[in-house]
Structure 1
Amino acid sequence: MQITKLSVIIPVKNIEQEMSGVLRFVAQQAAGLETEFIVVDMGSSDKTVWEAVQFIKEQKLRGFVIQNGDGPVAAALNTGLQKSSGDYVTFIFARRLYRDFIQGYYETAVRTSADFVFGSLNEEESNAAERRISKVVFQEPGTQYIKNILNNIVHIDISAIFIKRKFLFERQIRFFDTCAHGYAEEFVYRCLLSAAVIAQSSTILKRDNLFELKRGKLKPVGKNIFQHTDAMLRILDILKTNHREDAELIRLFERRKLPLTVMNGVDILLQEGMGYNAVRGYLRVAGYDKLLLTGKQTDRDLKRRITVWRAVPWMYKVKK
């Protein structure tokens, strides 16, 4: 019986022209590794499903296509996870492709038996990651990794991670499937807070310019952008319940992460044409204005944005 080492989950919608290229790109990276390819279609109205099925059949790949209906990406990812069978899972997004990370990540996963693997952004990070793995000093707690993320020391992109499938199912970690904004960051934080072993691969991440789907004009998201804030509030609840001894991380969330997320939502609404008073009224009714707390954990630029927004909103300038 052939054991599946890796499940590649690819959520797609209306990319019939790019579908075969994306699958070819991923298949080349996974060559030699027992891999299954799970394409989850989110209600395509073109020939995306047909192109995916044909490519998998013609290239004799292990895999299948699931038609998941016209729902959010988070729901598609949950469906892919439920149908997966690999030792590890990874997520591939047509709009954010990274080159040549699969083999390096898998080697790191095997060396460390990690629940969660992410990559390096540059040579310095790569060398440091290799030293940590060689010295078996990779068991930093997930709370420390989150602090490093909030302090811009570590960067983790859901488009380039490996997660042990058994770990996800044992800890019952899923995407919040009705959430369209912030679901990826929430999922990563949940994984970091539950993982016994987290490892940074020395593999340096590089975006692909050839196969990556170029973004068109994004549709307005409106007040749904504050789903991201709700996602971060759910993480804060976990911190206060299970990690209340880590006052530093809780303060970082309350004084930096949450106010930044709220202000980014404000910027989106203003860019989409909602008036200052309407935005302020919505924040007040929804209670998000109470999250605009500042302290020594808040950087100077964010403090300035919040101060101007509160005092003279008509002079507030959207952050580019």
Structure 2
Amino acid sequence: MQITRLSIIVPVKNVEQEISGVLRSIAAQAAGLDAEFVVVDMGSADKTVWEAVQLIKELKLRGFVIQNGDGTVAAALNTGIQKSGGDYLTFIFARRLYRDFIGGYLETALHTSADFVFGSISEEEAHAAERRLISKAIRQESGAQYLKGVLSHSIHIDISAVMLRRRFLLDRQIYFFDSCSHGYAEEFVFRCLLCAETIAQSPTVIKRDTVYELKRGKQKPVGKNIFQHTDALLRIFDLIKTTRRDDAELIQLFEHQKLPLTVMNGVDIMLKEGAGYNAVRGYLHAAGYDKLLSAGRKTDKALKRRIAVWRTIPWMYKAK
């Protein structure tokens, strides 16, 4: 029986023209790695499914195509996790591709038996990651510390360039929130960081692959649904208060920076889509999101100004 080291999960919809470049570029990265491709279609109305099946045959890839119906990306990713058979898995998004990271990540994952692997964004970061991998003396950071780094922008983790141990996800019952269309990726990454026992940063420097990325025009308005992102982070905040109640710094970063920033970003999107100030303020009040606009020591100055203007003179507020 052939061992599957890695499952590459690719959610797709209406990409019959672009899927060839996407799959070919990822197949080149995964050559010789005992990998399988799990393409999950989200109700395409074109020939995406047919093209994907033909490409898997043409490129002689191990893998299959699942028709998941017209649903969210989160639901498609959950299906991919459930149907995959690899020791590790990674997610590939046509709109946000990275080049030449899969081999380096898998090497790091197998070397460390990590639950969660992410990459480096500079040569300096890569050298530090390399030192951590080869030295037992260098203290490994906890998931909470990595999350603080993400919240304070000293660490960059992108769902489009991570690798996860499948058994970790299944044992801890970590999935994407099926009905969530905004914030599902961030919620998933944060939950993984908080639950993982071993997290490893690969010395692989990640770089975008803009040649094959899906380039489409403006998306349809999202309206109030943008606050699904806030709901996703509130679920993470509940987890933090339950499992990290003694970590005052993490709680403050979330309560006084991440949550209010996400609410204000939602305000900006609604205003840009044409909603009136009073309508937005009324919705925030009715949904209780206005109570999240609290500032503290961990709130940066720019966000404090945005909150202050929005609260006191909303007609003067300019969406960012």
Return the TM-score normalized by structure 2.
0.99
* Alignment-mate amino acid for residue 23 of structure 1: L
Q: Secondary structure at the match of 1:202?
A: strand
1:45 equivalent in structure 2: 45
Q: Which residue of 2 aligns with 1:244?
A: 245
Alignment of 1:134-153 (within 5 A): 134-136=134-136, 137=138, 139-153=140-154
What is the correspondence of 1:67-216 to structure 2 with a 5 Å cutoff? Answer: 67-136=67-136, 137=138, 139-216=140-217
Shift of 1:59: 1.6
**Distance in 1, Cα, partners of 2:61 & 2:6:** 13
Contact 1:138/1:198 (8 A) holds in 2 = no
**Does residue 312 of the first structure (1) align with residue 313 of the second (2)?**
yes
SS in 2 for 1:118: strand
**Who is 1:30 aligned against?**
30
- Provide TM-score, normalisation by structure 1: 0.99
Q: 1:138 to 1:80 in 2, by over 3 A?
A: farther
Structure 1 unaligned blocks of 5 or more: none
Q: Which runs of 5+ in 2 are unaligned?
A: none
Q: For residues 39-66 of structure 1, what are the alpha-carbon distances to aligned partners after superposition, in whole Å with 9 as ceiling and x for unaligned?
A: 0000100000000000111222110000
Equivalent residues in 2 for 1:225-264, closer than 5 Å:
225-264=226-265
Indicate the percent of aligned positions where both proteins have the same amino acid. Answer: 73
What displacement does 1:203 show?
A: 0.5
User: Could you tell me which amino acid in structure 2 is paired with residue 20 of structure 1?
Assistant: S
Q: Secondary structure at the match of 1:296?
A: coil
Q: What secondary structure, in the 3-state scheme, does the structure 2 residue paired with 1:173 have?
A: coil
| 8 Å contact kept, 1:105–1:162 | yes
Separation in 1, partners of 2:299, 2:120: 26
CA distance in 1, matches of 2:85, 2:94: 22
Structure 1 residue 224: Cα displacement: 0.4
Aligned equivalents of 1:3, 1:213: Cα separation in 2: 32
- Asked if the contact 2:132/2:140 (under 8 Å) is kept, the reply is no
Letter in 1 for 2:248: A
Give, as a single letter, the amino acid of the residue that structure 2 aligns with 1:169. Answer: L
Residue 297 of structure 1 aligns to a residue in which SS? coil
Corresponding pairs, count: 319
Partner of 2:3: 3
Aligned to 2:280: 279
- Measured against aligned partners, the alpha-carbon deviations of 1:71-106 in whole angstroms (never above 9, x if no partner) come to 010000000000000010000000000000001001
Is residue 2:59 matched to residue 1:59?
yes
SS in 2 for 1:154: coil
Between the aligned partners of 1:122 and 1:27, the Cα distance in structure 2 is 25
Q: CA deviation at 1:138?
A: 5.9
**Distance in 2 of aligned mates of 1:47 and 1:163:** 31
**SS state at 1:201 partner:** strand
Q: SS of the residue aligned with 1:39?
A: strand
* Superposed CA RMSD: 0.8
Tell me how far apart the structure 2 counterparts of residues 133 and 151 of structure 1 sit (CA, whole Å). 24
